[in-house]
Amino acid sequence: MSEDQAAQKDELLALGSIYDEEEFHGAESAPGGEIQLCLELPPNFKLIVKGDKQTEYDVSFLPPLVLNFELPADYPSSSSPVYTLSSKWLSRDQMTSLCKRLDELWGENQGCVVLYKWIQFLKEEAFAFLDVKSPLEVVKAGMVPVDAKRSKAGVKRAGTIIGEEDKLESLLELDPRAVLVVDPRTDILPQLLDFDEAHRQKEFDGKAFCCSICFMEKLGSSCLCFKGCQHVYCKACMTEYFGIQIRDGNVQCLNCPEPKCTSLAMPSQVKLLVGEELFTRYDRLLLKSSLDLMADVVYCPRQSCCQAVMVEQDTTMGICPSCQYAFCTLCKRGYHGLSHCKVTADELRGLRDEYISASAEGKKFMEQRFGKRVIQRAVEESFSRDWLYENCKGCPRCGTNIQAVPGCGY
């Protein structure tokens, strides 16, 4: 075995021992491999989306830079590793600057293995080298830095003459080894947010937390974190808590158990913990409670149906899409056209109090709905009942209202 082959073998073994399988994959057919490098983001790093409304997203992780390499037979004595550098979120001109810096590092260390130096540079110094700062702007056609231009530092290191900023793009020849792995016309934001969420969850799963309900310490993989407040409880306690609330019909109360905390559990979190039957009930009740808040939604009054019905504006007729029942949306009886809603004796008793306490607009609506005569009768009968209650007693034999006359001996 030659010295170059021995050095290559030792370097690949060293990389395999330093980095796990997710970061480093050795090639089987020839000396080489692939290294995925997640750059260390500064604290409070943000993505920003500009449009009709500017939106910011806090991220802790961005998709890795991917370095694919193959080692020539005369590496490291003479030749540099053959490589490509790819990314989902850096522009090709930024990656071109990184490629040129990797070439410079090889030139400074020719004759020695260089892969580890490349990895350390990309992982720890790439942000400062490119002058990438928070917030990083995401646009519909992909992602560019807020400045939308490569940093002057990066251009200088690439050996390009600094001119006007709007001419920087045309001054630098793109390196064919710099590969953009997404279509520039693709909206990259969902991919970046999904990657960040997955790696946050992976980091969470490996930490230990103390549940504030059972006071047992468990790994994050056995815990649930409320997104709004970041309070953490074990899944066993939350499964029981969610189950009780759903069975009682309190689907709007699946909030954090911390006193005075209003953070709600996400439906995806509920689905992970409760069984299929309970989640179906939760989903149905949650939809119903949401529909109840919509002014243009009523329910079919037939007990065997109860289907949600969309009502058109300025009409009191609802037609159930399931059973085709046409009904009045006010009194929930069969549709009666322009006729006033019929009122039962029991309903008439409460009509007077509702009418008296209503606003002028509310009184007008009630008169249109029930008719002035019905409202007047309800008010008169209500006053009559009040007078009878205060001034009369029921006959002990037949129950008829009677009024005691002074001197009758009753």
- Each residue of 210-231: pLDDT tens digit? 998 999 999 999 999 998 899 9
Cα–Cα separations (whole angstroms), residue 356 to 240, 331, 377:
47, 20, 13
As beta bridge partners, residue 234 has 223
Q: Which residue has the higher pLDDT, 92 or 233?
A: 233
| Pair 138, 47: CB distance under 8 Å | yes
pLDDT number for residue 408: 56
pLDDT number for residue 151: 41
Q: Which residue has the higher pLDDT, 126 or 252?
A: 126
Per-residue H/E/C for 376-404: HHHHHHHHHHHHHHHHCEECCCCCCEECC
pLDDT at 66 over 90: yes
Percent of the chain with pLDDT over 70: 83
On average, the pLDDT of the chain sits at: 81
257 residue type, one letter? P
Instruction: Return d(Cα 244, Cα 72) in angstroms, integer.
Output: 65
131 residue type, one letter? D
Taking residues 317-333, report their average pLDDT: 87
What are the φ and ψ backbone dihedral angles of 189, each rounded to 5 degrees? -55, -50
Query: Which residues, including other chains, have CB under 8 Å from residue 60's CB and lie 6 or more apart?
Result: 41, 45, 196, 199, 200, 203
Give 67-90 pLDDT, tens digit per residue. Answer: 999 999 999 999 999 999 999 888
Taking residues 270-274, report their average pLDDT: 90
pLDDT at 142 over 60: no
Taking residues 320-346, report their average pLDDT: 81
Q: Any idea which of 57-61, 197-201, 208-212, 381-385 has the lowest mean pLDDT?
A: 381-385
pLDDT at 259 over 80: yes
Burial environment of residue 98 by CB neighbours within 10 A (0 to 12, 13 to 18, 19 or more): buried
Instruction: Return d(Cα 334, Cα 317) in angstroms, integer.
Output: 9
* DSSP annotation of 408: S
Q: What is the pTM of this model?
A: 0.58
pLDDT number for residue 237: 94
What are the φ and ψ backbone dihedral angles of 178, each rounded to 5 degrees? -90, 115
pLDDT number for residue 314: 72
pLDDT number for residue 184: 63
As a dihedral over the C-alpha atoms of residue 397, residue 402, residue 403, residue 405, rounded to 10 degrees, the angle is: -60
pLDDT number for residue 172: 53
pLDDT at 174 over 50: yes
Tell me which residues are annotated as active site.
408
